[in-house]
Amino acid sequence: MYNEKVVEHFCNPRNVGELLEADAIGENGSFKCGDTMKIYLKIKDDRIEDIRFQTYGCGAAIASSSMLTEMVKGLTIDDALKITNQDVADQLGGLPPLKLHCSNLAADALHNAIENFRNGKVHGESA
């Protein structure tokens, strides 16, 4: 059901964990499955210097988050905002249709973190 690239990211996820001195933290949850995602960012000169994620999501969510962190590290926050869940799924070589919503978790949590940063906050209201 999953391709090799997805399985590889799921088995060896990149950038997992917490950034203790994060400049911004974004959260997201899926109403579809109840899973949650947290993205931590270190931002310097409007560029993503470091990124970590934590999730209670499924294998597709873990693989998507892992891929997303690799895609956005080093990007400006403007460019990072342009990354969509479909971009992440494409980079993974595709996800099964029933698992496409899982890639929303990471992309939306990233966008939430950047929005918090732009509003001068580390966390959103719910954190």
Q: Which is nearer to ligand FES, 30 or 91 (CB)?
A: 30
Q: Which is nearer to ligand FES, 93 or 96 (CB)?
A: 96
Q: Cβ distance 28 to 65 under 8 Å?
A: no
108-123 CB burial, b ≥16 within 10 A, e <16? bbbbbbbebbeeeeee
Tell me the helices (H) and strands (E) count for the chain, helix number first: 5, 3
State the Cα–Cα distance between residues 67 and 87, nearest whole angstrom. Answer: 10
Q: Which is nearer to ligand FES, 78 or 86 (CB)?
A: 86
- Has 33 been annotated as catalytic? yes
Catalytic residue among 33, 75, 81, 100: 33
Considering only CA atoms, give the Rg of the chain: 13
Q: How far apart are CB 49 and ligand FES at their closest, in Å?
A: 27
Q: How far apart are CB 86 and ligand FES at their closest, in Å?
A: 16
Can you give the binding site for ligand FES, defined by CB under 6 A?
30, 33, 35, 57-58, 60-61, 99, 102, 105
- Has 102 been annotated as catalytic? yes
| Residues annotated as part of the active site | 33, 102
